[in-house]
Amino acid sequence: MIAPIAVALTVGLLGWTYRALKPPPPKICGSPDGPPVTSPRIKLSDGRHLAYREAGVPREEAKYKIVVIHGFGSSKDLNLPASEELVEELRIYFLFFDRSGYGDSDPNPSRSVKSEAYDVQELADKLQIGSKFYVIGISMGAYPVYSCLKYIPHRLAGASLVAPFVNYWWPCLPANLSNDAFSRLLAQDQWSFRVAHYTPWLFYWWMSQKWFPSLSILAGNMAIFSQSDLEILKKWSEAPSVGQEKIQQQGVYESLHRDIMVSYGKWEFDPMDLINPFPNNEGSVYIWQGYEDRIIPFQVNRYLSEKLPWINYHEVPDAGHLLIFESKNCEAVLRELVQR
């Protein structure tokens, strides 16, 4: 009697474990069980689709063309608070897009740091925005910019990394710096990033379980925001932006979870491997960092810019993580990027 019971319990436990670890399949936009496609999209060479949004002056009339790469839990529908007068003065064309798995863009089960750069390049080519373009990466949208600097530097006219994500396991970071910066994070975020880095196959379970607190930003923990961030969030709550309901519509795993697993996983390169893409000063690379940022400790980005002196570092004293969503900062980022 004992053996059959043990077998049954073992099989039951294995079944529960399999279900707990396996994420549900995504609800692909345009599929019978998925949400409808509501945005213009281009088809990539691997068959996936990327959704995009154009803004600013018409691309045919633009002097500067900027691909804007959104961060974690965001989308192509983010609103940069630059005045219409500035955009017209500088003749800027903006190309926003949903990164893989977000909004109306198809998931990419083979997503990697490297694949992000080639998504950007193929989108730019499909829309014929020219042989060179600018990129702005916001928060977690910065790791695709690092990817562009590594894999398609010849396509860039300039790049800005705003409140850029950092991977605490980059080999280039001194242990004392990465450990100190990591210790400044909330304990629940430290554990979430450890799971994503060391055991990504457990990440879906970790983000779904209820026994331990997981990622603070998804739990609505406001302690991670600075005072200036809270003021910006208050404005957003009074006038919610368009498209928020579509960000996770294909599934939280293919949008949020995979974003974290890729960014905090093992990279194909180290930032210190990067070479100045503009040796003749024909363009520039910038890091914009808020001193009051509680999500990305400024010490790491300050260190990276010191070791890579071709990166121009701007530390904004009174700004937090959402610095680009304050009009004066946004316009400063744009002006410096294109006018250098």
Residue 151 belongs to a domain with what CATH number?
3.40.50.1820
Q: How many CB atoms lie within 10 A of CB 28?
A: 18
pLDDT at 9: 44
pLDDT at 7: 42
Domain count, the chain: 1
pLDDT at 1: 58
- Residue 264 tokens read as 């905090």
Residue 19: inside a domain, yes or no? no
pLDDT at 5: 55
Closest CA to 269 of 108, 46, 116, 99: 116
First-to-last CA distance in the chain?
A: 79
Closest CA to 298 of 280, 316, 310, 285: 316
Tell me the C-alpha distance between 113 and 268, whole Å.
7
Residue 240: inside a domain, yes or no? yes
pLDDT at 13: 40
Residue 35: inside a domain, yes or no? no
Given the structure tokens 């790791």, which residue do they identify? 143
pLDDT at 12: 43
Q: Which long-range contacts (CB under 8 A, 24 or more apart) does 187-191 make?
A: 188/212, 188/213, 188/214, 188/215, 188/216, 188/219, 188/221, 189/215, 189/216, 189/224
pLDDT at 21: 61
pLDDT at 8: 42
Residue 5: inside a domain, yes or no? no
Residue 8: inside a domain, yes or no? no
The parent domain of residue 122 ranges over: 41-338
Residue type, 7: V
* pLDDT by 10s per residue, the chain, length 340: 565 554 444 434 434 344 556 888 999 999 998 999 999 999 999 999 999 999 999 999 999 999 999 999 999 999 999 999 999 999 999 999 999 999 999 999 999 999 999 999 999 999 999 999 999 999 999 999 999 999 999 999 999 999 999 999 999 999 999 999 999 999 999 999 999 999 999 999 999 998 888 889 888 888 899 999 999 999 888 877 777 889 999 999 999 999 999 999 999 999 999 999 999 999 999 999 999 999 999 999 999 999 999 999 999 999 999 999 999 999 999 999 998 7
Residue 61: inside a domain, yes or no? yes
Beta strands across the sheet bearing 92-97: 41-43, 49-56, 92-97, 64-69, 133-138, 156-162, 285-290, 311-316
Tell me the C-alpha distance between 236 and 228, whole Å.
13
Does pTM top 0.85 for this prediction? yes
pLDDT at 37: 95
Residue 18: inside a domain, yes or no? no
Residue 16: inside a domain, yes or no? no
- By CB atoms closer than 10 A (0-12, 13-18, 19+), residue 35 is middle
